[in-house]
Amino acid sequence: MSGTPVDSFIRRRPPRRPEAPAAAAPSAVRLSIGTPTATVREPEPPARSIPRVTGAGRLDARQPMLALSRFQSAIGSLQVVVGGDVSGMDVLWELGDHRQGSVDNAPLDAGRRRLVSHDRMPGFVLGLRHARGLRRVLFYLPATSSVTVNLYDGTTIACDPKISVLALYQHDGLVHLRYDGEPYPTLGSVKAAYGFA
């Protein structure tokens, strides 16, 4: 059976090339391929990774930062529940285009819901659906006795009672939480420390 022309073409081997006699190589500049005298570099220490939250976490002076997963950073709401004296609390936010403001003038997301707002319980709610548009959010908590962060998937993060600012940063779709226990006397001192106008 002769097969199709394609089969015979695929099975055919290419013709052999005739071997040419070895020609004398022209004289060329000889290259020195020795060991370069480069300095030996010490390997850089690995960057300290920020621990991820799974199930429960704690923010305090020994563990000042936690990272949320991509799922936790994009779905539902982040609820900051505050116990104790709630007077003087405020939220400062900054978007990716460097617009800034407080909880009273928070922008609306595509669903016509405020990006950050007061909660029914003492505290605040931050919608995470459009978190990629955020740069940072600061929760100023001057005289609280307890602060807890609750996420949509049931994750709970307890904060040290000495917390005065809970900072939230968004980078590349991931949300990072940071503990700040400095005793800021006023909201103006928080604005100055974090570079808000």
Residues 101-156: tens digit of each pLDDT: 888 877 776 667 778 888 877 889 998 887 788 899 999 988 788 999 999 989 99
Q: Are strands 156-159 and 56-59 parallel, antiparallel or unpaired?
A: parallel
Q: Which helix (H) or strand (E) holds 10?
A: helix 5-11
pLDDT of residue 25: 56
Q: What percent of the chain has pLDDT over 90?
A: 35
- Whole-number Å distance between alpha carbons of 146 and 141: 10
Provide the 3-class DSSP secondary structure of residue 6: helix
Residues 24-42: tens digit of each pLDDT: 555 555 655 655 555 555 5
Say how many C-beta atoms besides its own lie within 10 A of residue 140's C-beta: 22
Paired tokens of 126: 């931050």
The pTM of the full predicted model, rounded to 2 decimals, is 0.72
